[in-house]
Amino acid sequence: MSVLVTGGAGYIGSHMTLGLLARGEEVVVVDDLSTGFDWAIPEGVTFAKGDIGDAAFLEAVFAEHRPETVLHLAGSLLVEESVADPLRYYANNTVASHILIATAVRHGVPHFVFSSSAAVYGMPGSEPVRETAELRPVSPYGRSKLMTEMMLEDVARAHPMRYAALRYFNVAGADPEGRAGESTHSSTHLVKVACETAFGLRDHVSIFGSDYPTPDGTAVRDYIHVTDLAAAHLDAIAYLRRGGESLVSNVGYGRGFSVREVLETVRRVHGQDFDIRSAGRRAGDPAMIVADGSTAREMLGWTPKYDDLPTIVAHALRWEDRLRFRNQR
């Protein structure tokens, strides 16, 4: 029996496979390499290249590898892009998830862990948001994630499958041992963009909106180290295997930093200045969103190790330095 990881060649997926291998799991990665990289898949992992929206492909993978757990990380993830091209997001995130869940049900998979998002909350306000908050996504990206959560809830009532839907906040950083990191071309993630700018790979970094009702006028987010996020998935698998009931859980530290604070941290850790420019707000961006992470800590036993913004930035900078030399070879 194996753990099947969709999107396992991507940023979060590559860290996820490292964590699974460290726990002695048999890992199968499914990825179409549209944004991931085959070199990011660690040795010892079985790789099946293909689209999770391809039912025949998935059927063959499940029949051959008989996964006991599915970790569903694949999908499109840019809020602004989803506003411009909503049908792509409903196809990649919702329709493809339906095909994956249906295949898992046919093959009797008992455990399913889903990569959801804080975008399901929409514009929650200034207080740390709990899982019980009203769900009012304001972008097709957020709605597509919420639709998959709803499918899982209904499927778990009708079939012997239990699931954990983990609502990510802002993922950043890189593997502390330097084995993996965010390698996506043209990323919009703030820490990644700032690190690229610090190394001269971009000529500037933009602040999208400086008139939000926040202390310094820029948007506030809860930044979580990618290795801590991967650990939450491992804890969710262990929870489900112990017989835990299906659950929805935030994964965040419960503390927010503004865009300006993040950029100043990158400047300080890197040790050099870089060009920062102001731009208008992006569609679908809330002023502030910070997690109440008590469910993950109390129900899953999640204990983060890297809850420190300078550490997150230092790991991201080290990976960016390695990546730029890799790309020159």
Catalytically active residues are 141
Closest CA to 96 of 66, 121, 73: 73
Residue 172 · residue 251 · CB < 8 Å:
no
Distance CA 112, CA 17 (A): 16
Distance CA 225, CA 178 (A): 13
Residue 275 · residue 205 · CB < 8 Å:
yes
Residues 240-269 as b/e (b if ≥16 CB within 10 A, e otherwise) read: beeeeebbbbbbbbbebbbbbbbbebbbeb
Residues 300-324 as b/e (b if ≥16 CB within 10 A, e otherwise) read: bebebebbebeebbbbbbbbbeebe
Distance CA 27, CA 235 (A): 16
Residues 1-37 as b/e (b if ≥16 CB within 10 A, e otherwise) read: ebbbbbbbbbbbbbbbbbbbeeeebbbbbbbbeebbe
